């Protein structure tokens, strides 16, 4: 029996530069957001497993004999180099009482949990009887990597309790992280969970959740940046719903219609991503305030490019105008057409200006967080390292 409780967290993600252009083979920079998903795992007296996801209204429990019988079926054709098969997912849906075409967050979160629990225990040894509670600072469905933060936390916790990776937290330490080899295993299983949820994900979101910091993505290649600074930002959710698929198709159509006009825009966005990468990698060794005007200007240029490409929206224009009135620089992050925007905060930005900008953004009906980018990846926590809000959320039994 697993004897101890553990708490794991993973960050969300934002695209700093390169959204839309990345679909056409250009560089994108993804960064870890210090809005995190937390998972608490503790031993369970009953033989079986209980999982609670209050953010999406899931409370489920299953007994050990039923899970073992299901595992035999799933393990028979387990090929972890591929996406989970339709047959495997159908068997899990039937077991969990989920309708065939269900795509609601609670259904997908439950399916991802079941698949990861069964596949990890089939591959790495029995997962003991545990009680799992997940709580997140991230909004769902906002393009901020909330599903990947969830699958990264699940992978780390399940791999730890079945002994596939260590529990590196030592007595008296606030937090600990895993070795590079262990992180690669966490990332592998988190990606499998993302495949259950999204079908054909890029792998960027789970890589950001695992390694944190910032990474470069181009034509399927994911490269973590060596050292990046933590930068303070405002993250704003306009709450305007959008379809990534429709926006991506609209950009593609414009490129096909006006190739001589649009291809230079894609090249310019590629150059912005590469320039930003150079600046971020130079900052830790030489933390000069001169870098911030460069980062701000890159935000402004890229935001104009994204409007040219058709990814803008009146709500995002308003966000940029409101923050500009306080001397701040913003751009959309992700698909655009609504969704979220990020605003860079210089170290010398006055707290009064930040507070005034937040109030004005909230008055527009937007939701606003003061947070950081370049945050650490998946982390193991002692309870002393958790703030009061997180502790409270994780002690709900």
| 147 tagged catalytic | yes
Give the start-end residues of each E strand in 238-366. 329-333, 340-344
Helix, strand or coil, per DSSP, at residue 308: helix
Strand partners, 370: 234
Task: Write out the DSSP string of 356-397.
Answer: HHHHHHHHTT-EEEEEEES-B-SEEE-GGGS-HHHHHHHT--
| 205 tagged catalytic | yes
Catalytic residue among 34, 131, 205, 360: 205
Distances (CA, A) of 366 to 14, 200, 239, 304, 310: 17, 30, 6, 21, 21
Residue with tokens 């073992």: 68
Helix, strand or coil, per DSSP, at residue 284: coil
Catalytic residue among 147, 273, 315, 330: 147
On whether the CB atoms of residues 106 and 57 are closer than 8 A, the answer is yes
Return the sign of the alpha-carbon dihedral for residues 148, 183, 80, 214.
positive
Structural tokens at position 307: 């409007």
> Could you give the residue numbers annotated as active site?
147, 205
């Amino acid at each position: 029996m697993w004897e101890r409780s553990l708490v794991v967290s993973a960050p969300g993600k934002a695209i700093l530069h390169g959204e839309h252009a990345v679909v056409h083979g250009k560089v994108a920079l993804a960064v870890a957001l210090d809005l995190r998903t937390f998972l608490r795992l503790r031993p369970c007296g009953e033989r079986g497993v209980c999982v609670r996801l209050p953010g999406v209204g899931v409370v489920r429990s299953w007994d050990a004999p039923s899970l073992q019988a299901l595992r035999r079926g799933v393990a028979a054709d387990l090929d972890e180099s591929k996406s989970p098969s339709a047959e495997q997912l159908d068997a899990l849906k039937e077991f969990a009482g989920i309708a065939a075409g269900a795509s609601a967050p609670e259904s997908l979160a439950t399916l991802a949990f079941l698949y990861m629990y069964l596949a990890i225990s089939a591959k790495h040894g029995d997962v003991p009887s545990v009680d799992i509670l997940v709580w997140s600072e991230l909004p769902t469905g906002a393009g901020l990597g909330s599903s990947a933060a969830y699958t990264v936390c699940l992978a780390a916790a399940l791999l730890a309790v079945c002994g596939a990776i260590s529990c590196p937290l030592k007595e008296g330490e606030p937090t600990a992280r895993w070795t590079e080899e262990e992180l690669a295993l966490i990332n592998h299983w988190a990606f499998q969970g993302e495949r259950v949820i999204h079908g054909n994900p890029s792998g960027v979101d789970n890589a950001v959740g695992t390694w944190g910091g910032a990474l470069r993505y181009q034509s399927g290649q994911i490269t973590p940046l060596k050292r990046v600074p933590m930068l303070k930002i405002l993250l704003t959710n306009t709450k305007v719903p959008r379809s990534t698929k429709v926006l991506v198709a609209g950009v593609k159509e414009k490129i096909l219609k006006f190739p001589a006009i649009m291809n230079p825009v894609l090249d310019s966005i590629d150059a912005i991503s590469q320039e930003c990468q150079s600046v971020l990698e130079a900052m830790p060794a030489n933390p000069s305030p001169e870098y911030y005007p460069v980062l701000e200007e890159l935000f402004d240029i890229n935001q104009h490019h994204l409007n040219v490409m058709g990814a803008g929206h009146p709500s995002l224009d308003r966000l940029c105008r409101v923050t500009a009135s306080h001397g701040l620089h913003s751009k959309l992050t992700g698909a655009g057409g609504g969704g979220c925007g990020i605003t860079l905060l210089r170290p010398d930005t006055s707290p009064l200006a930040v507070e005034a900008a937040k109030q004005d953004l909230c008055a527009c009906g937007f939701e606003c967080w003061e947070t950081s980018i370049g945050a650490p990846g998946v982390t193991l926590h002692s309870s002393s390292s958790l703030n009061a809000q997180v502790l409270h959320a994780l002690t709900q039994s």
